[in-house]
Each structure stands twice: as structure tokens, then as C-alpha cells.
Amino acid sequence: MSHSSRTKHGIATARVRGVKWGASGKALAQNNRQMATNFAESHQELIFELMLARHWGPVKLARELNWRCVPARNGGGWHPATVDRPLKRLPGLKEELAKARKAKHREIHSKLQAGCSGAN
């Protein structure tokens, strides 16, 4: 009996016993999505700080996270794709970053103006 025949026979036998194929796949996928979202949220503050410090792109972020020995979700190193995935799970991060950059710019601008007006 070939491998293919044994597999087909095994599947048919399991179906007769009432086994449903792929029944837990949906629950596992939902669990994986939730774990990925939790991981992204747990690293949101660090990623925000790095992006505010001019580590904008996935390549620079991956380099900085690896340099700081921050483990990726699977426990390994960071790559541009493993940085990009959590960024996609944090939809408000870019807007928050833009607000923080504007505030920082205003602060620097007001300090410069205060320094210039004090010199006259």
C-alpha cells in the first residue's frame, strides 16, 4: 500500500469516527492574532521612543532593537519584516508620533526665540 493510499485510508477512517478537519484552526488563528497584538502593545512605548529618536524605518528600528538585545516575538532577532508587523498592529502610533514631533519642534523653536530675544 502506497503512502498516498494509507493517508487517504486514514483520513476516511477518521471521518467515520467523526473527526472534523480544521475545527481548531480558527481558534488557533484568533489566539495567534491576539498574542501578536499583545506583543506589539507591550513594545509600543519602546518603539515610540526609538522612532522619536529618529530611528524611523524598519531597518533602523530592527538594528536598534537588536543592539538593545530586545527579543522579537519568536525569541530571535529583529528583521525589517518583524518590525513592520507590530507597527501595523499599532494603528495610532504614527499619529501619536506626529503630535510628539510637532510638540518637540515647538519647544525647540520657542527656546530659540527666547534665546534670540534675550540677546538683544
Residue 5 lies in a domain: no
Residue 117 lies in a domain: no
Residue 47 lies in a domain: yes
Residue 75 lies in a domain: yes
Residue with cell 530611528: 55
Residue 57 lies in a domain: yes
Runs of H (alpha helix) within the chain: 3-17, 25-42, 44-52, 58-67, 80-88, 93-119
Per-block mean pLDDT, blocks of 10 residues, the chain (120 long): 91 87 83 93 89 84 93 92 87 80 80 69
d(CA 99, CA 81): 26
Residue 48: its pLDDT value, please?
85
Residue 39 lies in a domain: yes
Range of the domain at 62: 23-92
Dump pLDDT digits (tens) for 68-88. Answer: 999 998 899 999 998 888 888
Predicted model pTM? 0.64
Residue 115 lies in a domain: no
Residue 80: its pLDDT value, please?
93
- For the chain, the domain total comes to 1
